[in-house]
Structure 1
Amino acid sequence: MSAPLEPRDERPEGSAGPAAAPSASLADGEWHRLHPATPLLRGGIAFVAVVGFLLANLRERIVELVLGSPDGPTDPLDAAYQNGQLGWAGLIVAAALVAGVVLFFFSWRVHTFRVGDDVVEVRSGILFRTHRRAPLDRIQGVAIARPLFARLFGAAKLDVSVAGQDAKVQLAYLRSADADRLRVDVLALASGARAAESRRGAGPTETASSGGPGATALPPSPSSVEAAPLAPEPSVAPRGVLETRMREFMAPELDPSTAPPESVVRIPPGRLAGSLLLSGRTLVGLALVAVIVWLVTTDRLGFAVFVVLPMLLASVGYVYNRFTRSLRYSIAGTPDGVRIGYGLLSTSNDTLPPGRIHAIEVHQPLLWRLAGWWAIRIDRAGAAGEGSAQASTTMLPVGTAGDATRVLSLLLPGLAAEETRRILDAGLDDPRAGGFVTAPPRARWVRPLAWRTTGFAETTDAVVLRTGFLWRRLVVVPLARVQSVRIEQGPWRRMLGLVGLDVQTVAGPVHAQLPAAERAVGEAAFARWSAAAVAAAAADRTHRWRAHPSTGSASGPGRDGDGGASPSGAGERMEP
């Protein structure tokens, strides 16, 4: 039986003396190392596979180069045995293995991280050193990913997303329980809970730390319950490795104790499969199958195999990945923001603190209309340049109108008011039902099909835009996250007495644009939204969401340091 997983004891390099007791938290301001299996998980297996491929395909050249027997056996072992060089061959293989192990060891040893009071830092590299810093006041989200192979080692990858292009700090890999605890600590530091605790008269205390004076202790966090499923209980005997791995595999991505059950939205597998079958990618795949059949029957097998078949395999792979990734999907509200979990074999969950959502889009493809399904995606700072931008911006892959309304209330708690919910329900159903200012009839010359459903509404802390006829879209932009408001009028719109409005936020999949509105109505809305955005940004306190107890809105902060430029107070007019 092995001992339960505990945080590593790390001392500064060069320190002497006996090791102190392990720190209760990795967020103690000291430098720590990653999981010992990190080199293997990050590239060791790929390295072995590449070496094996080269040996299998170049073994004749290797035999000729090393053993000097081009006319002998092509098998390296047979050639070494016949030439009496088996010992030298074994020595070369052993030296290569030792060199690989030494290289991986030093790469692991120099890859360290530190979590201080206001920054997360990572140092890595042997020949070329890198040092990445993530200021806590710019954090946009904290995600934990557990790939299938890493789960076998009890490891997890923690990503700290900050505002900026390619500014994510990644800790790959940590022990799974350590990753859960570190996320709690990072969110507690970023939320301003320590400053709030100090103001209440509970000054910072010192705790023992290896290799130096103790760091200030974190205040109790309401979200500390999130790490409970993986943390060892004092009253339970130490579990074996196999039992620990089984508990980690079976544990839900979202702990039900972190949020009320009614705040969680889950997707049945049947609905998920149906949404993928009715997606455009599936239709493209069916069309490619028809093309392959036609090419085969017309004796054009080469074109079908080398051109059309790879396209079909790519479509099938995309649908399969979407299905497996969205299984066990769930979303819930926690004390430190919205938590989204998904994945079957390789799992992931992401925590979005309050004030990190710039825009929300609820959209409905044409084929989903009969089933009444909707999907939700968002704009968030720092996600535009990520390889997994689509996954990190998708909040609801598919759901009913009720699910969409519930997720909107989680993302922006200010939308939970009864009057606001009526506006959202009207936007999802028919904006002419009430609460929306729709485009005039002459807008049909600009939007022939969608002029009746084009309009906008206003709430106390957000702007709601509705567009689309075949592909319905409802966009919600928190006023505190508006970077600028633009009004434009080209020759055609000027002749019709119309204007277009554009509410600009960070780069992302959501585009908050209103293509047509009455000129007088649009100009009045332009002035109101510009002034309201400045006022909302000045009053926003969500960049330190637990430092101000009154902060309850998830609308974005109005600080540049949180990834969105604060409104300057001036909108932008564009006329030819």
Structure 2
Amino acid sequence: MTDPSLPAADRTDIGPPTHPGPPSAQPVPTAASDPSPTAPDPRRVGSPLSDGEWHRLHPLTPLFRGGLFLVVVIGIVIANFRDRLIELFFPLPAGRSGRSAPPDPIDYVLSHDLAIVALLVIVGVAAILVGAFYVSWRFHTFRITGDDVEVRSGVLFRSHRQSPLDRVQGVNLTRPMVARLLGMAKLEVVGAGLDANVKLEYLSTSSAEAVRADILQLASGRQLAERALRGEPRTRREAASSAVSEGFTGLIAGAEQPVEDPASVVHIPIGRIVASHLLSGSTITLVVLIVGIVVGAILGTPWILFGVLPTVLGFGAYWVRGITKTLRYSIAPTSSGVRITFGLFTTVTEVLPPGRIHAVEIRQSVLWRPFGWWSITVNRLSGGSAAQSAADPFTTVLPVGTREDVAKVLQLMLPAMPEAEWPVVFDDGVLGPRADDPYTNTPRRARLLRLLSWRRNGFLLVPGVLLLRRGFIWRTLGIFPLARAQSFGLEQGPLARALNLAAVTVHTITGRVTGTLGAVDRDAALALFADASAATVAAAATDRSHRWAGEEDRS
């Protein structure tokens, strides 16, 4: 039975486990006590896996889910028999042995004629592991109904997770390099809540693409007209050969794109990606760290090199990973939302539905200013914790781009913003201030609190959006859709009270974009508080973005 008091994404099925059913290509029968929900309208889905019935994941899923465990076991074995392996490939002269320690288990087994017993034990353990992975796969099922995406897993302790379609914040498709070669992918449905994501790992690439499209179609409220089948049925051997061939092609050509998706609206040259990382704060930190280590080794003891070398190598790997994950970046509009893809070795793709953006920030460091480069980050529900949301790779929707790139991405992120308001976003907000500045800035009496940026530090309320402009060394412009705002706040400390100032805060979901602007005139802050509160109520009352293609689109 299911406890109805638990949240939908964290309900736990404590009843008896479902008896294993037929192979993964067929629906998995459910228990009699588990009523089948309403299946999606066949006209709204295009995958046979989106029929409201229980299905299993890809048959190779146990290999990938248990692969890390097997790698650890192999590493332990190699570490314990390292000397024997060295002697196997590099024999020592007769009478000499590289193993001065007592005999290892292999010597004991060989000296007591236990080779057959040891082999049987190894085969038995391997069989138990394979059986455990197989049983786990048999009991790991999912289904897509007209209202939810559900996943059941576990053998002894059963879990049942649900993600309501009307709370879907996005759908991620991740293809690790090895999985790509075998034509497999991970699908993650991002829910609106803490630890509310539902993962389907792994599916075949074609099934993952089709299931993702179905989930987004069902979440949008759009009814499909006709979906033509792509290609003719193939034999299993032809399908396997094609999957491997497409995997190698994808490594070279880039992320696979469905035919109906348009090309990326932004193209970032590799040289710009590398140069932007060379001119970043992480590079400066790495250089300072290396210089400090060298100076310490010269003036102090050379052993300092061995003590901090792992830290330098780890930081260097992080720096290189920052470049590789940005390669093959693309962003494009689709019928279901904005599609973002990046990654050289592991390809990650997310389709972000409309109305799921809670805040947008345009940022430029002083090192990028001569080249006219900018980056764009967003706040959006990720279904993870606060720390995971801050480290979410999808928060950066534009790693580095020109003014034209920024304009294209902003139009995708904020499609409802009136065209007449775009000049106050970039010309006045990003590049400003300039003559006749429409922003309300920090008054002159508080310039010591914002010594370099008091002319830029300001806000502007336009229809449907609040703009917060900050910084001189790191220029930022925060854009907050009022329909997504949670609340507004005013703060005033002793110093601000003496100077008749206040700090304004727009509260959104946790993320990398902050909504606080300090050193604002008190009367202007009070006026903004009243105007923004009223505008937020009006924007939320007319917002229909949770079902962005509803009944009016079905005709």
Q: Same fold (TM over 0.5)?
A: yes
Residues 1:476 and 1:14: Cα distance change in structure 2 (over 3 Å): closer
Mapped contact 2:262–2:334 kept (Cα < 8 A): no
Q: Does 1:192 align with 2:221?
A: yes
State the Cα deviation string for residues 276-306 of structure 1 (Å, max 9, x = none).
0011111111112212222332352222211
Q: Does 1:74 align with 2:103?
A: yes
Q: Does 1:407 align with 2:409?
A: yes
**Which runs of 5 or more residues in structure 2 are unaligned?**
1-22, 33-45, 83-99
Larger mean Cα displacement after TM superposition, 396-405 or 386-395: 386-395
Find the counterpart in structure 1 of residue 510 from structure 2: 507
The residue type equivalent to 1:415 in the other structure is M
Mapped contact 2:24–2:59 kept (Cα < 8 A): no
Task: Output the CA distance in 2 between the equivalents of 1:256 and 1:89.
Answer: 51
Q: Does 1:152 align with 2:181?
A: yes
- Residue among 414, 431, 434 paired with 1:432: 434
Residues 1:54 and 1:311: Cα distance change in structure 2 (over 3 Å): closer
Find the counterpart in structure 2 of residue 87 from structure 1: 116
Task: Output the CA distance in 2 between the equivalents of 1:539 and 1:103.
Answer: 52
Find the counterpart in structure 1 of residue 358 from structure 2: 358
Task: Output the CA distance in 1 between the equivalents of 2:495 and 2:300.
Answer: 52
The residue type equivalent to 1:338 in the other structure is V
Show the 5 A alignment for 1:463-474: 463-474=466-477
TM-score (norm 2): 0.83
What is the RMSD of the two structures over their aligned residues, measured on CA atoms? Answer: 2.8
% identical aligned pairs: 43
Task: Output the CA distance in 1 between the equivalents of 2:279 and 2:70.
Answer: 41
Find the counterpart in structure 2 of residue 102 from structure 1: 131
Task: Output the CA distance in 1 between the equivalents of 2:446 and 2:102.
Answer: 81
Residues 1:315 and 1:191: Cα distance change in structure 2 (over 3 Å): same
TM-score (norm 1): 0.80
Task: Output the CA distance in 1 between the equivalents of 2:406 and 2:475.
Answer: 14
SS at match of 1:464: strand
Mapped contact 2:390–2:512 kept (Cα < 8 A): no
**Cα distance, 1:475 vs. partner?**
0.3
SS at match of 1:151: helix
Find the counterpart in structure 2 of residue 12 from structure 1: 29
State the Cα deviation string for residues 330-361 of structure 1 (Å, max 9, x = none).
11111111111001121010111111110011
Mapped contact 1:359–1:380 kept (Cα < 8 A): yes
Larger mean Cα displacement after TM superposition, 243-252 or 312-321: 243-252
Mapped contact 1:59–1:74 kept (Cα < 8 A): no
Task: Output the CA distance in 1 between the equivalents of 2:78 and 2:390.
Answer: 34
State the Cα deviation string for residues 16-63 of structure 1 (Å, max 9, x = none).
xxxxxxx94211111111111111112x22222222233345569xxx
- Residue among 18, 37, 59 paired with 1:36: 59
Task: Output the CA distance in 1 between the equivalents of 2:551 and 2:541.
Answer: 15
Residues 1:73 and 1:488: Cα distance change in structure 2 (over 3 Å): closer
Find the counterpart in structure 2 of residue 241 from structure 1: 240
Mapped contact 2:442–2:454 kept (Cα < 8 A): yes
Mapped contact 1:541–1:548 kept (Cα < 8 A): no
Mapped contact 1:141–1:353 kept (Cα < 8 A): yes
State the Cα deviation string for residues 297-337 of structure 1 (Å, max 9, x = none).
2352222211x322211221111111110000011111111
Residues 1:423 and 1:290: Cα distance change in structure 2 (over 3 Å): closer
Mapped contact 1:193–1:547 kept (Cα < 8 A): yes
Residues 1:418 and 1:247: Cα distance change in structure 2 (over 3 Å): farther
- Residue among 125, 148, 158 paired with 1:129: 158
**Cα distance, 1:78 vs. partner?**
5.1
The residue type equivalent to 1:10 in the other structure is P
Q: Does 1:143 align with 2:209?
A: no
Q: Does 1:55 align with 2:77?
A: yes
Residues 1:236 and 1:48: Cα distance change in structure 2 (over 3 Å): closer
Find the counterpart in structure 1 of residue 497 from structure 2: 494
Mapped contact 1:463–1:478 kept (Cα < 8 A): yes
Show the 5 A alignment for 1:25-424: 25-42=48-65, 44-58=66-80, 74=103, 76-77=105-106, 79-194=108-223, 219-220=224-225, 232-234=230-232, 239=238, 241-248=240-247, 249-250=249-250, 252-253=254-255, 255=257, 258=260, 260-261=262-263, 264-298=265-299, 300-306=301-307, 308-381=308-381, 382-383=383-384, 384-386=386-388, 389-415=391-417, 417-424=419-426
Find the counterpart in structure 2 of residue 209 from structure 1: none
Task: Output the CA distance in 2 between the equivalents of 1:298 and 1:444.
Answer: 44
Task: Output the CA distance in 2 between the equivalents of 1:464 and 1:533.
Answer: 14
The residue type equivalent to 1:420 in the other structure is W
Mapped contact 2:482–2:539 kept (Cα < 8 A): yes
Find the counterpart in structure 2 of residue 68 from structure 1: none
SS at match of 1:102: helix
Residues 1:503 and 1:299: Cα distance change in structure 2 (over 3 Å): closer
Find the counterpart in structure 2 of residue 3 from structure 1: none
Task: Output the CA distance in 2 between the equivalents of 1:56 and 1:475.
Answer: 53
Mapped contact 1:254–1:330 kept (Cα < 8 A): no
Residues 1:478 and 1:550: Cα distance change in structure 2 (over 3 Å): farther
Residues 1:293 and 1:415: Cα distance change in structure 2 (over 3 Å): same
Find the counterpart in structure 1 of residue 36 from structure 2: none
State the Cα deviation string for residues 165-206 of structure 1 (Å, max 9, x = none).
111111111111100000000001111124xxxxxxxxxxxx
SS at match of 1:392: helix
Show the 5 A alignment for 1:454-465: 454-465=457-468
The residue type equivalent to 1:469 in the other structure is F
Task: Output the CA distance in 1 between the equivalents of 2:101 and 2:280.
Answer: 59
The residue type equivalent to 1:452 in the other structure is R
**Cα distance, 1:269 vs. partner?**
0.7
